[in-house]
Each structure stands twice: as C-alpha cells, then as structure tokens.
Amino acid sequence: MIVCTGCALQRQPVLGYLVEAFPVETEGNTRFYKDPVDSTFVWSEDGLQLKIRFFNDRMLDERFDPVVSPYTLSGWVDPNLGYTPPLWTTFEVTVINRTRERVELDPTQVVLRLDSDNFYYCRQGVGVWKNLPHYVDYSYLKWGSRAGNVEFYANTDRNDIWRRTEFQREKPVRKGRKYRGMLTFPALPRDTENFTLEINNFILAYDSAEAGFGNPVEFTDIHFDFSVKQGIYTVEEGR
C-alpha cells in the first residue's frame, strides 16, 4: 500500500460545447429586424412575417426532455473529444400570414450556406440528397446500438417527437393563420464564423385560392444572415 499524505487525485474538468448565433441586421433594410419581445430574427412585408429563432443545445434541452430528445446528443460524451458535441444546427421557423390568400415555405428549398461556401440541406427537406458534404446525420451515436441502451431506445419513438415538432412539407398557411416548426441542419464546422439561412422560393401566391388546388405563381427569396460564436467551456466554471 502506498500512502500519500496531503495529495489527492486531480479531478478532471467537465467540458461542454456551446454554439451561439446572432442576427446580422443590414442598416436601412427595414424588412429585417430583431423582435425585442421574443428575440426572433424577423422578415416582414405587407402583413406577412417569417420569424427565425436559433436554438443551441442548452435551449433544446430546456424545451425537450434530453433523455429522449432527437435534437441533441445529451447523455452521450464523445470519448475522443471529452464532451458532447452538437448534433444539429436548429431553428424554430414561424410563418405568420395576415394578408395573402395562401403562402407556403417548402423545406426542400431551404439551405444553410456557410462562410466556406459549402451548404447544408435540412433534415426535413433533404429528399434524395443524403450525402456529404451537404448532409450528414450523427443521431446513431445516441439512438443506435453504440448508445449502450438498445432496449430503451428501441422502445422510444423519437419519430413521434419529429412529427409533432418539425417544420413539415406541404403546409400552406392561409390568411389569418400561422404555422411553426423546427428545421435541423448538420452541425456547424468548428471554424464557422458566419452563415446564411436561405429560404428560397417562398411561395407568395397560387393561381387558385381554393385550398389544396392551384399552382404557385409568385415567389420570393428570404435570406437571414447570422454571426457565430462557438467553443469549448468548463462546466464548473460556467461560460
């Protein structure tokens, strides 16, 4: 037995990873602004609003039970990194239509463009594009056999959470209504400092006002610019 007086094993710090994204407003462009009430990044024109809110893992774990949430890897630590990395780059998107007969945001037309000029498709609109460098899904780290609790995850329907919360396709918003859901893109590269959320071909009008009929005839592109701050922090010491 070796006796060491006055010494103790040094406790390893608990590490976390935090991503923050901040709206970049263009001076003189009154269509884009930050809502002082809910801190969303807003595009507004003629009674139509598109509101964007970035969610990091802390915010997602406050909204969804991290044990079963498909939005984060909480509960799993990367053995090589020593912390839990982000699983997605997540936004809550709200379409508010006060004036037009019918509008629609199609997730297949939305991309996240990085400052490296690479771009990502969102999970909800990825379609046939499931390949690098434009899409990747690491959720198997939590939900696959490597997670270490196969029976629990096999009996937990994460797809139910997706269905209730994600921004789905073919969801036209009629006058006087709104629609809200989450869009998820692959996690940002470590060196990302800026990105643009591109809402392309947002449908402003159809050639028929009848629900479920008509072809889209008017479109617009709405691009939201963000700056990024991200990095490792020590949990005990805070940010």
24-65 tens-digit pLDDT: 988 878 899 999 999 999 999 999 999 999 999 999 999 999
The yes-or-no verdict on residue 8 having pLDDT over 80 is no
User: Where do the structural domains in the chain lie, given as residue ranges?
Assistant: 25-234
User: What's the mean pLDDT when you consider all of the chain?
Assistant: 88
The yes-or-no verdict on residue 129 having pLDDT over 90 is no
Question: Which residues is 179 bridged to in the sheet?
Answer: 95
Cα–Cα distance, 196 to 172 (Å, whole number): 24
* CA distances from residue 21 to 8, 90, 146, 157, 195 in whole angstroms, order as listed: 40, 11, 31, 30, 9
Tokens representing 32 are 């884009």
